[in-house]
């Protein structure tokens, strides 16, 4: 049986029930204990060597199947602090405390439940047909991708020392493309992301006596406007950078000038030198605003989270996509270019010194699309990842997601 023939096999119908169960019971980053337990139980039943608690709540399954290379396949497990609005009969109604102790709604608004289920399905098929491949399979079920810390936590916990070191890292992420399509880009595929908190210190006063204050609200307003010039006036038009001020917090009353203000920023970039320049310019802007206002203290800039640039190895991705073209047809394999979204899967590859092959899995009902290409009008209206209304078409997507992983693994761990 060829890789392509195998890839047309329908996934175990029980996977849909597992997916719906995971969807009903989402867990935030480093809280994925229930999910990890289900994963470990399934992997053990398939004959994998299983270790739990890697990097906090991560799970690693190893299946040794004779001589050959080692492939690491990763799926993330965590959910988002988003209240679900899909209307599904298995929608999440879960709330949970976040890292700061605030109780928030929780849902799988990014599709990590689908990633986990697809890798479980692939694990079952690969374990049941060991004559079709040879080598070592390392399955990594990662916590806290949304926090940008899960992959590094697993590496810091000895992922690459305690388990076979991979020759390739594979993975996929569901996207609002038609089910049956796969999209991937070689080179810098997903942007690096820096999220920052800027604290501006002023001097509070009564709203009727502004002369006695150093107004941090005015400083914040000037900083927001000044930050808009970082990209428009200090970055070359050929360099791609996005700088967003996502939140401004200051004060609680109309007649009180507060003592401080907070800005939350996000920066997306692809080039390390450009990233450094932007961070330097951000500091110049906020320092300049504070100095101009006569602030009693300089502002502080704190890193909240950081995603490195995800770089797909051209040769490795090409090898994987060739197998997908043979399976789905060349017209179903798309190149979306470099995306502004961010991921931490690249940490697993760079830490191992292994090539990365990471792709987007179409997860939407194909009947909603006109052309099925990257210019399809439906892409502007179908809810995307992180939307409260985002929900993959699980029945259409699960078999394809399982088959994509099986195809990729058997391409890299061929039978001898």
pTM here is: 0.92
Task: Mark whether 23 and 167 lie in a shared domain.
Answer: yes
Confidence of residue 416 (pLDDT cuts 50, 70, 90): confident
Task: Mark whether 53 and 176 lie in a shared domain.
Answer: yes
Task: Mark whether 180 and 258 lie in a shared domain.
Answer: no
* Helical ranges in 158-246 per DSSP H: 159-162, 216-234
Task: Mark whether 212 and 259 lie in a shared domain.
Answer: yes
| Per-residue pLDDT reduced to its tens digit, 17-33 | 999 999 999 999 999 99
Task: Mark whether 178 and 263 lie in a shared domain.
Answer: no
Sign of torsion, CA 361 364 365 369? negative
| pLDDT score at 8 | 44
Mean pLDDT, range 182-208, rounded to an integer? 97
Measured from the Cβ of residue 337, the count of other Cβ atoms closer than 10 Å reads 11
CATH of residue 22: 3.40.630.10
d(C-alpha 122, C-alpha 128), whole Å: 10
| pLDDT score at 9 | 47
Task: Mark whether 254 and 336 lie in a shared domain.
Answer: no
Task: Mark whether 196 and 322 lie in a shared domain.
Answer: no
d(C-alpha 29, C-alpha 31), whole Å: 5
Task: Mark whether 202 and 265 lie in a shared domain.
Answer: yes
Task: Mark whether 56 and 179 lie in a shared domain.
Answer: yes
Q: Which residues are annotated as a binding site for Mn(2+)?
A: 110, 112, 146, 173, 386
Structural domain boundaries, residue 284: 192-306
Q: Which residues are annotated as a binding site?
A: 110, 112, 146, 173, 386
| Per-residue pLDDT reduced to its tens digit, 268-327 | 999 999 999 999 999 999 999 999 999 999 999 999 999 999 999 999 999 999 999 999
Task: Mark whether 46 and 81 lie in a shared domain.
Answer: yes
d(C-alpha 157, C-alpha 361), whole Å: 29
Q: Over pLDDT 90: what percentage of the chain?
A: 96
| Per-residue pLDDT reduced to its tens digit, 23-70 | 999 999 999 999 999 999 999 999 999 999 999 999 999 999 999 999
State the pairing for strand pair 182-183/333-334. parallel
Task: Mark whether 207 and 176 lie in a shared domain.
Answer: no
- What's the mean pLDDT when you consider all of the chain? 96
Collect all residues with Cβ–Cβ distance below 8 Å to 291 and sequence separation of at least 6. Answer: 298
CATH of residue 292: 3.30.70.360
Cα end-to-end distance, the chain, whole Å: 14
Task: Mark whether 298 and 367 lie in a shared domain.
Answer: no
């Amino acid at each position: 049986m060829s890789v392509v023939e195998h890839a047309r096999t329908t996934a175990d119908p029980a996977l849909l029930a597992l997916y719906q169960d995971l969807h009903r019971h989402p867990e935030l980053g480093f809280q994925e204990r229930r999910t990890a337990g289900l994963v470990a139980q399934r992997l053990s039943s398939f004959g994998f060597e299983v270790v739990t608690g890697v990097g906090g709540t991560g799970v690693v399954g190893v299946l040794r199947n004779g001589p050959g290379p080692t492939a690491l396949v990763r799926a993330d497990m965590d959910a988002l602090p988003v209240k679900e609005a899909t209307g599904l009969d298995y929608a999440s109604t879960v709330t949970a405390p976040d890292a700061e102790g605030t109780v928030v709604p929780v849902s799988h608004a990014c599709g990590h439940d689908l990633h986990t289920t697809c890798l479980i399905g692939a694990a079952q098929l690969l374990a049941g047909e060991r004559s079709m491949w040879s080598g070592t399979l390392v399955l990594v079920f990662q916590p806290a991708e949304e926090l940008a810390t899960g992959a590094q936590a697993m590496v810091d916990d000895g992922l690459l020392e305690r388990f076979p070191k991979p020759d390739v890292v594979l993975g996929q992420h569901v996207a609002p493309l038609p089910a049956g399509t796969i999209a991937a880009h070689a080179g810098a595929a997903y942007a690096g992301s820096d999220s920052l908190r800027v604290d501006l210190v002023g001097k509070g006063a009564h709203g009727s006596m502004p002369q006695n204050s150093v107004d941090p609200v005015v400083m914040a307003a000037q900083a927001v406007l000044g930050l808009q010039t970082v990209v428009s006036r200090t970055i070359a038009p050929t360099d791609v950078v996005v700088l967003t001020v996502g939140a401004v917090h200051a004060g609680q009353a109309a007649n009180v000038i507060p003592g401080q203000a907070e800005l939350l920023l996000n920066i997306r970039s692809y080039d390390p030198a450009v990233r450094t320049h932007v961070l330097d310019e951000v500091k110049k802007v906020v320092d300049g605003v504070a100095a101009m206002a006569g602030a009693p203290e300089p502002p502080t800039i704190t890193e909240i989270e950081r995603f490195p640039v995800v770089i797909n190895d051209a040769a490795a991705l090409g090898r994987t996509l060739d197998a997908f073209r043979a399976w789905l047809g060349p017209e179903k394999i798309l190149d979306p270019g470099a995306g502004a979204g961010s991921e931490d899967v690249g940490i697993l590859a760079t830490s191992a010194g292994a090539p990365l092959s990471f792709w987007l899995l179409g997860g939407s009902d194909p009947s909603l699309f006109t052309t099925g290409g990257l210019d399809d009008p439906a892409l502007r209206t179908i809810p995307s990842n992180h939307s409260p209304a985002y929900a993959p078409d699980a029945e259409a997507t699960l078999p394809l997601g399982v088959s994509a992983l099986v195809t990729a693994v058997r391409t890299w761990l061929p039978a001898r």
